[in-house]
Structure 1
Amino acid sequence: MIWLEGRGRDPQAYCAGCKAEDEVVYRCMSCIGAELLCQTCIVSTHLHNPFHFVEIWNGEYFECRTLKSLGLLIQLGHAPGRSCANPAPSRHNDFVVVDTTGIHEVNLSFCRCDGMKPHFVQLLHYGLFPGTGVDPRTASTFQALKFFQLMSFESKGSHQEFYRAIERLTGNVLSKSSRDRYHEFMGMVSQWRHLKLLKRAGRGHDLGGISGTTLGSCALRCPSCPQPGINLPDGWDAVPQEERWKYRLFVSIDGNFKLRRRLVSSNEKDPGLNQGWSYFVEENGFKEHLVSKWHLPQDRSTCVAHEAVDKPDRQARGLAASGVAAGVCMRHEFRLPNGVGDLQHGERYINVDYIAFSAVQWFKILELVISYDIGCQWHKKLIQRLAALPAALQPTFLEALLVLIPKFHLPAHIEACNRSYSFNLTKGVGRTDGEAPERGWSRMNAIAKSTAEMGPGTRRDTLDDHMADENWGKTKKCAETFIKKMERAIHGKRKFEQDYSEYRSSMPATFVSRWVAQVERWESDPSHNPNPYEAETKGMCPSAHRRTSDAADAAEAEEVGDSPSNLGVVQPSLFISSGIQLEEDQCLGNHPTKKQLTNLAERSNTLRRRIAVWIEVQRLYMPEAESCRLRHDSASTAVEGKPSTEAYDIPLLFPSSLPASLKCTPDLISYEAQLREGQAYDALEELRRYLRNRSYLYKRKDKNSKGSQTSVAANTRSNTAIKRAQQGVDTAAIRYTQAYNALMKLWDSEEDASMDEPQWRRDLQKLKASDIRGLSEGLYGDSEGKRGISWIWKSWSASLTSASEDDIENDEQLEDALHIEFLKSCTRAARWAEEVELLQEEMRRTLVFFQQKADWWNNRRKSTIGGSTSDYEEGFSAYALSQSRVYTTLRLECERQWEEGRARNWVKRPQKGGQKKRVTPDEDVDVETLLDED
């Protein structure tokens, strides 16, 4: 770098161009090589690159010079280097060109030969965009305008930031030395964006031309949304009612209060250029509607206190626009034509109604789903408000309108909204989440700072340009986007259909048919049938739960006191049964209460005597266990100095506890296996019962204990009840783990390998900490639509007898919990299956759309815009064919990637670099390990 500051040790003695030896002092650092040239050669070599800065060696260092000062002339109307017989030099000799290399003062001459074009046309043919159409003295290169446009899309930089950077590139010491053309540059950018919008929309190729441009016709449409006459099959509107959900339009509405505009300029001074041809609504009609309907009242929220409803004037002081509202394609996140408009005082319904149905008017579909975060309030009196809209916006073609609330926003609403406006519980919506606008706002908010200070027209045109780029980015990624969605949908469909099948098979058939009929009636007519997802019972109150727990403790103490102490004459089956009872009496759980510790201390001697008597009987039936006990006592003596005398530490040594080298009689093994199987099923049922009660207690605490005047006392009572339920969960988990481990050891020790697999092997599994959760609880990070059911709720006895059906019938709380979770499991499987079908239809529509666009361009190789001359014919044809090729390429790429996905059955490709699947913290930790750590 330092070497380049000088001419090197042996300065070049002659011109690299003409080989002359006089005044070889000029070089251009923008050209490769930076060879020294004479003045004549440096000018001639830059006839095709007139926007470079050259340097001259002044004898001590290099100084910057302009090509204008060296005599370079840009002659328009002729090829570079050719002279003009009738030139017209630029007036005042002060023509300025903005380029990516800097801001240049140039010698520029127009052509006055016969038949030559106006000055602005001559500049355009030379690749220079004029600052004005009359006597231009400023221009920008096409490269600079395109570079700024792309840079603003990626970095969200403003006009000023870009122009200041170009100024510093021109001269970083006295950057103001160049002529200031900032305002002219802003005007050129606005016109450039507008003309590029028209060009890409094919307005130059359409018979109506620019004067025939209609509202929304320059917006880039979503290729996957249903568009009759473009990508829908013939007869789509005549399909059976149960198939129409595939042709629904999904629109999401949301407001954004970051994209505000300050009270500067006006529509009269800055009307803008797009005039509603793209994404913003047409301003004049929008303002007329607001003025005429501004007096209409807006009802207060009957849900939670939504600020968008109850405080519509927030952040509106000193602003011309407090934000924007937008209608977005819900499933693909495309901005919709005429689907964006300004807000003045929050999300008033008159603004949102106009914007929403202005976007919907372009889709002549029969069924519409609208997602709005305050949809529960907005849809009230919507039919009456639609009558106040202009006639062109009133949706006369709709047969069904469904309003839902986005999944992320829904939990903030009241419980009734969570049941009535949920995507998860609505038929025919797939895995749509309704949150599409939120993801788009995160990118658009980056330009909020610069657009806040713009005039109204420039701001709308700028936002239109950025929204068009977002839509184009999504269009280019259609192939890979649908690949990812389909892979996820196929995996979800398989997983949740299997979950539902397993859960359904564990339910009595009579209940299944009853519950399915309930949900079918509700889906067909929600207004006249009860919501099947609403619980009808209130559950067990904490005081009742406390009385039940106290009674269980008393019964346990009574059982310990009345247990027979003489086990010397028992049968082998009673011997094993008594031992299992002793094992349960030794168990305290993870967190014993003070009462439990007191009871244990009181009956410790009794329990120790009972264990001693049982061990005496064990010597008769299992003499091989005595040697194991002696080794255990010796190990305890070596570590602690003496064997443990605590009752709950004395090893009982069942047949399942013996080493593999020691065998007891097969009868004892069989007896223990039968008892352990019953113990496992009993513990699992007890675990489910405590989990149901714990879930109810948590819900009751959230509903009644928070925010009340007696919150401390109420919370204390609730926490006590929850703690009791949690103790029951922990104890049941320990009992199940002991029984399951014993069963597995006994099964592994069986010598007859040909023995049929018992039922418990198919029902029971190893209990992990992540498995211990309620019916409606998922793993960490699982949403409602992705939540799976723990296996403990799908594992029942080998066959549900009439007695177990009676148990469900008589336990209303149990039936409520089971039938609600059963229906949610059913809807999860249904939504994933619908998602696969929707994606298949959307992929078909995408291919048809791309083909239709390719054909549209291919049929417009000629236009009447250029007049009767042939100057423009080749350009029209070339651009039309290039655009046709763009959409053909997109279609072929989609077909290629999707065919590869079908060939591998939409299974995800293996990840590179050995990346492991993320697991939840407790996913691979079992209960026994946690107990050992405690």
Structure 2
Amino acid sequence: MKLFIPKRDLYLQEMLRRDGRGYATHDRCLDCPDPATAKPALFRCSGCAPGPLCCETCMVRKHQECPYHRIKRWTGLTFEDTTLKDLGLRIQLGHTHDRSACSNPIPCRSDFSVIHVNGRHVVSVDFCGCDKAGQAGDVVQQLLRYDLWPATDCEPNTTFSFELLEHYHVQSLQGKISMYDYYLSLERLTDNTGTAQAQDRYKTFMRIVAQWRHMKLLKRAGRGHDPSGVAGTRPGECALRCPACPHQGVNLPDNWETISDELKYIYMMTVALDACFRLKRRDVSDVQKDPILGSGWAYFVEDTGYRELLSAYGDQKEMSSCTGLSAVDHANTKFSRGYAATGVGAVTCARHEFWLASGMGDIQKGEKYVNMDYIFVCAIREYLVLHKLVSYDIACQWSQGLLERIAKFPPHLRIEIPEGSIKYVIPKLHFRAHKREGHSPYSLNYRVGVGRTDGEGPERNWWEVQGIANATKQMGPGTRQGYMDDTCGFTNWRKTVNMPWTLRKKLRAAREAYTEQRVIFDELTKSLQKNYDIVAWEEEIKVWEADPFNHDDPYVVLSQGPTEAETLRALSEEEQVASALPGFMALHDVSPVGFVAMGLELEDVKTRLLEDAKKATSSRIAGLFERRTALRRRMQKFRDLQAIYMPRAVALLAEDPSCRTDTELIETVRLGLPSEISPSRRDAVCSCRLQEIEARLRESQCRDALQNIRNKLHTLDHLYLYKKTQVRHQGPNTRARGEITTQDVRKGRAVTKYRLAHRAKFALSGHGDWEKELRVLNDEDVRGIQDDDPETEKKKRKRSRSDKEIPAEGRRKISWIWRSSDLDDSEDRNDSLKVEWFKSRARTMRWKEEIVLLLEEMRRVLATHSYDEERWRAHAKTCAHQDPAIYEGMVAYALKQARIRRRMRAVFRLVCIDEARSAKGAKWEECEEWRKVEDLEAGVIEEPAEAEEEIASIYESPDDLIDVL
């Protein structure tokens, strides 16, 4: 750019030169055949390459096949706009294939216009009316055969070029450009001065684009090759399936049902459910004015049956017992006034994030069970023979009674789901929002056969389509559904194209991670075998993995006292008993236990926000603002409850500036829980019951936080050991250091939580026996169990360069945090070491499963491409039509699609074969699907075998092989 600055005058002058004739100052046309009779050279085309001016006759002759270029006329002083129509160009339809003259041309109206990628053009068109009119077709057919889409079937006067429709189609999908902005840009290209008035064809453009999307959908689905035609389209048939997921009859081997139990997970279908409340639709238009083209044929469920079923259901009765889940708690309260749909629910492929056929539907008022049940049933019908893993952020609640709810559906939706064929899990990011008790069976970290699936695919998919949220909000039902179906198909296709690089990257990462985790697990096992019965531990965890819901959770460490969840449950049961006594009157829907629990939860949110605000970068300021806004809303609700349960405290808190919520840094505001009230006023403003509830919960908080500290110290010890003994070079050291830093931050959060809970407990209960177990936690107390080991201290003494005195061996003590809990070494009690071993084993198993799954998915992709290739070749052989030209087009299109699949298979093999061969220990063999791909006409598509490695290293992205596709 610095080099450009001195040359600005040069560039500006050359741009101005273009507004004149430049060096083309000849008076006569150089394109005329006879220079003696050449006409004046007055015309220039803006769309052609710069050249000499020519006369109107030559301009018309050169633009017989380029009728949408813009022409300028030289007046002697400047150029003025003119048109090819004014110069005499006429477009004769029906004879373009042989350029023969029509003996009876039928002229169009004088204002007939074509809208092209460079704006609107008024053109002169003649329709064929001679004896070849039957062969040329009617008016609509003649226009379509000239690549013009008519605005109406009855005497069309406005048309849109195929090039324009294809251009906008891609722009709307890739760039998410709105239809209004695109059409307005066409008007600006036509005239940007406001001096020329043109008829508004925006609504027409909307209708034509919807038709174009729909017809492209049908064409790509092969409906033009099916004898039943468009009317025979089945539900979901126009959707693009995930090539890596198991599909019976497409990419599964013949023996897939008889495979051993330990490997059945590789043929399991993994799906994820979620809803997005940004994809709203206002209550504008209806299906009568804006009908849905092909309802239920692609990604959305069939609309009529869906709405009929919903009309029979009222508000949702099931409420979540887990804290922090608004998806269920707000099912009946989501703001819906003025909206026909408050969002969209969807089912996706959880491992590859493809939208499933018939797996999407509007939700009218919150994320109700009936909406998600219906969408789930429609999406899962084609996978009934497979075992399924279903990920949903409220799976622990939604799965209860699912089969009973489905049994009440209409007969055609009552799918048969064998008992035990579905496993339910919670996405990893959402898992922390659930209570801890009884939720390990829903964890993707602990369930056998899930690999490294995180279940968060829908969230990433919503991010991809959020660009169309504003554009679709004001659309009618038909236009919106067509646009969203098209968008889902586009994202699925791009993922199909990118799949070689996606799976190769995942397999490479899985191999590295498995090697690393295997070393850590083996070292941990070796270090524990001397003092612990590892064989018994393994038998115990295998029993739980076989039936996790009917055995104690091995991933939860027991302590001497009740955990926070257990205390909360006990308090709730006490409240329930008290509420049944005569004369009881509830003050609010939220009980006193719920009020205190809400305060403790807000305290955790405040602490995390304070920590993040201290180290926030400029890019995270906006996120902090959103979190502060959410915290402010919750705190205001807490203040409303406080006015009910602590009415005398309201005036007291109003006097304290640190308790006011009208401040920017809401995380610094004091909540005013009973423990925060001074002892002299506490009894006056707080009931004894509230003080008791908080004291019991605080004690349980201390136990939970203390156990969390121990777990993190164990993890840090082994991470340091692994880094010291196994990690070399800068890259691995950086990654190891990053993991250590992450665990250290989590340890610090647990320490902070313990200290807050301990201070609150002491403020409420004072000195007592509870202090024997839960002491004051100083910095020197937070250390690993081996830090006082004599061998470790000897090594420290040798490395020490200071004169600081080291305690003698006989006076060395283990920190009290290791003696306050986990004291029972009996076999039926889970201690922290055992849990850490379980978790390390689970991590190793998941990475090994991931390698096996990725290799199988690679095979399935190749098999799917082969299946699709053969399907399109079959279409080419079996299609039939009376019109030879249409028949030829059908065969050509089918062979084109078959060739695309064949080349995609060749590219996939080229990119992934070396990585698959390197997957040691996965029992992989180069099966039939991995054979070299040979072109039926040109031989082998791939490069010679000796060049494969070099080529695969060059092709690092889909763009590098775009010419192959």
Alignment of structure 1 residues 495-534 onto 2, 5 Å: 495-508=516-529, 511-534=533-556
1:838 aligns with 2:826: no
Q: Which of 864, 869, 872 is the equivalent residue of 1:854?
A: 869
Any conservation in 2 of the 1:298–1:348 contact (CA below 8 Å)?
A: no
Shift of the 197–711 alpha-carbon distance from structure 1 to 2, 3 Å rule, reads farther
* Aligned residues of 1:539 and 1:696 also touching (Cα < 8 A): no
Judge conservation of contact 1:320–1:344 (CA < 8 Å) in 2. yes
* Partner of residue 295, structure 1: 314
Superposed, 1:732-771 pairs within 5 Å as 732=787, 739-740=794-795, 743=798
1:87 equivalent to 2:105? Answer yes
User: Cα gap change, 1:208/1:398 in structure 2, threshold over 3 Å: closer, same or farther?
Assistant: farther
Give unmatched runs, 5+ long, in structure 2. Answer: 1-14, 564-716, 722-740, 802-814, 922-948, 955-965
Tell me by how many angstroms 1:150 deviates: 0.6
Secondary structure at the counterpart of residue 213 of structure 2? helix
Q: Deviations over 1:581-622 (max 9, x none)?
A: xxxxxxxxxxxxxxxxxxxxxxxxxxxxxxxxxxxxxxxxxx
Question: What is the aligned partner in structure 1 of residue 691 from structure 2?
Answer: none
Q: What does 1:548-587 correspond to in 2, within 5 Å? A: none
Corresponding residue to 2:325 among 303, 306, 320:
306
Q: Is the Cα–Cα contact under 8 Å of residues 879 and 887 in structure 2 kept in the other structure? A: no
Task: For 1:909 and 1:737, locate their aligned partners in 2 and report how far apart those are by CA, in whole Å.
Answer: 49
Q: Is residue 376–residue 405 contact of structure 1 (8 Å, CA) maintained in 2?
A: yes
Corresponding residue of 1:765: none
Query: 20, 23, 30: which is aligned to 2:47?
Result: 30
1:238 CA displacement = 2.7
Q: Distance in 1 between matches of 2:23 and 2:542?
A: 91
Deviation at 1:810, TM superposition (A): 4.3
Question: Normalization by structure 2: what TM-score?
Answer: 0.69
Change (3 A) 1:165 1:709: same
What is aligned with 1:609?
none
Quote the residue 1:430 is aligned against.
451
In 2, are the aligned partners of 1:853 and 1:887 still within 8 Å (CA)?
yes
Measured after TM superposition, the shift of residue 7 of structure 1 is 1.3
**Cα deviation, residue 831, structure 1:** 0.5
SS in 2 for 1:2: helix
Q: Write the letter of the residue equivalent to 1:14.
A: R
AA of the residue aligned to 1:437:
P
Give the superposition deviation at 1:109.
1.2
Query: Does 2:154 match 1:154?
Result: no
Which string of whole-angstrom CA distances, capped at 9 and with x for unpartnered residues, describes residues 474-525 of structure 1? 0111111110011011111111112111111111375212211111111222
- Letter aligned with residue 824 of structure 1: K
**Correspondence for 2:65:** 48
Aligned partner of 1:75: which letter? Q
Identity of aligned residues (%): 36
Name the residue aligned to 2:368.
348
Distance 1:696 1:62, change over 3 A: closer
CA distance in 2, matches of 1:414, 1:860: 54
Please tell me whether the aligned partners of residues 558 and 831 of structure 2 are also in contact (alpha carbons under 8 angstroms): yes
Q: Is 1:254–2:274 an aligned residue pair?
A: yes
Matched to 1:85, the amino acid is S
- Tell me if the contact between 1:308 and 1:346 (Cα under 8 Å) persists in the aligned partners: yes
Secondary structure of residue in 1 paired with 2:125: strand
Deviation at 1:146, TM superposition (A): 0.5
The letter of the residue matching 1:300 is: M
Task: Tell whether the 8 Å contact from 2:330 to 2:367 is kept in structure 1 after alignment.
Answer: no
1:876 paired with 2:894, answer no
- Residue type at the aligned position of 1:11: T
Alpha carbons of 1:132 and 1:528: their partners in 2 closer, same or farther (altered >3 Å)? same
Q: Which stretch has the larger CA shift, 487-496 or 726-735?
A: 726-735
In the TM superposition, what are the counterparts of 1:85-124 in structure 2 within 5 Å? 85-90=103-108, 92-114=109-131, 115=134, 116-124=136-144
CA distance in 2, matches of 1:138, 1:730: 82
Residue 17 of structure 2 corresponds to which residue in structure 1?
3
- Structure 1's unaligned 5+ residue stretches are 542-683, 747-772, 776-792, 794-806, 914-934
Larger CA Rg, structure 1 vs 2:
1
Distance 1:311 1:296, change over 3 A: closer
What are the equivalent positions in structure 2 for 1:316-715 lying under 5 Å apart? 316-399=336-419, 400-416=421-437, 418-508=439-529, 511-538=533-560, 702=753, 705=756
Match of residue 207 from structure 2 = 187
Deviations 1:821-841 (A, max 9, x none): 110011111101111111111
Equivalents in 1 of 2:52, 2:874: separation in Å? 51
SS in 2 for 1:69: helix
Once residues 282 and 507 of structure 1 are traced to their aligned partners in structure 2, the CA distance between those partners, rounded to angstroms, is 58
Distance 1:369 1:774 in 2: 44
1:239 is aligned with what amino acid? I
1:715 deviation in Å? 13
User: What secondary structure is seen at the aligned counterpart in 2 of 1:172?
Assistant: coil
> How far apart in 1 are the matches of 2:406 and 2:196?
56
- How far apart, CA to CA, are the structure 1 residues paired with 2:181 and 2:72? 27
How far is the alpha carbon of 1:871 from its aligned partner? 2.2
Kindly state the Cα deviation for residue 392 of structure 1 after the two structures are TM-superposed.
2.9
Partner SS state of residue 875, structure 2? coil
Q: Output the amino acid matched with 1:343.
A: I
Q: 1:387 Cα shift? A: 0.6
Q: 1:891 aligns with which of 905, 910, 920?
A: 905
Paired AA for residue 331 in structure 1? R
Task: Give SS of 1:339's match.
Answer: strand
Distance 1:390 1:156 in 2: 38
Deviations 1:640-673 (A, max 9, x none): xxxxxxxxxxxxxxxxxxxxxxxxxxxxxxxxxx
Q: Secondary structure at the match of 2:272?
A: strand
SS at the partner of 1:204?
A: helix
RMSD of aligned C-alpha atoms? Answer: 3.8
CA contact (8 A) 2:91 2:124 kept: yes
CA drift at 1:305: 4.2
| Superposed displacement of residue 742, structure 1 | 5.6
Find the residue that maps to 2:249 and give its secondary structure: coil
What is the one-letter code of the residue matched to 1:886? I
**Aligned partners of 1:723 and 1:15: how far apart in 2?**
96
Distance 2:752 2:125 in 1: 81
Shift of the 397–235 alpha-carbon distance from structure 1 to 2, 3 Å rule, reads farther
Contact 1:262 1:318 in 2 (8 A): yes
Corresponding position of 2:692: none
Report SS of the residue matched to 2:184: helix
Please say if 1:66 is aligned against 2:121: no
Note the C-alpha offset of 1:297.
3.8
Distance 1:862 1:501 in 2: 58
Higher deviation after alignment, 447-456 or 110-119: 110-119
Change over 3 Å in CA distance of 1:147–1:702 after alignment to 2: same
Structure with more contact order per residue of length (Cα contacts < 8 Å, sep ≥ 6): 1
Q: Read off the aligned partner of 2:67 and give its amino acid letter.
A: P
Which secondary structure state, in structure 2, belongs to the residue aligned with residue 409 of structure 1? helix
Structure 1's 713 and 169: CA in aligned 2 closer, same or farther, altered over 3 A? farther
| Equivalent of residue 722 in structure 1, options 777, 787, 795 | 777
Q: What code does the residue aligned with 1:87 have?
A: P
* 302-311 vs 209-218, which moves further: 302-311
Specify the SS of the correspondent of 1:230.
Answer: coil
CA–CA separation in structure 2 for the residues paired with 1:443 and 1:701 = 38
Aligned equivalents of 1:462, 1:27: Cα separation in 2: 40
Matched residue type, 1:869 = D
Counterpart AA for 2:853: L
Question: In the alignment, is the contact (CA less than 8 A) between 1:487 and 1:906 conserved in 2?
Answer: no
Deviates more, 1:301-310 or 1:222-231: 301-310
Between the aligned partners of 2:360 and 2:406, the Cα distance in structure 1 is 18
- Measured in 2, the distance between the counterparts of 1:707 and 1:134 equals 81
Residues 1:143 and 1:714: Cα distance change in structure 2 (over 3 Å)? farther
Q: What is the TM-score of this pair, normalised by structure 1?
A: 0.71
